[in-house]
Amino acid sequence: MNQYEYCLKKYDGKGLIGGKFALFEVEEEFNRMGREGWELVSLMDTSQELGSTRWIIATFKRNRN
């Protein structure tokens, strides 16, 4: 039996270069998830054309107990 549960969150990476990515909001969400017992275990970006980032996928885990 798996002792962990996982949660994936998708963030729009389109504005990373243009400054539209709401870093403060993402930080607040990560902190909220941490208070709920979630631990960030990885970040992955998905490419769009010409090497730009389309989505950022965050993977969280926490104990089921």
pLDDT tens figures, 9-64: 988 766 555 556 677 888 899 999 999 999 999 998 887 777 677 888 999 999 98
Task: Please give the residue range of the domain that contains residue 47.
Answer: 4-63
**Count of domains forming the chain:** 1
CA–CA separation, 14 and 54 (whole Å): 5
Closest CA to 4 of 41, 44, 51, 56: 41
pLDDT at 17: 54
DSSP state of 48: -
Closest CA to 36 of 60, 56, 59, 57: 60
Percentage of the chain modeled with pLDDT above 70:
83
pLDDT at 25: 82
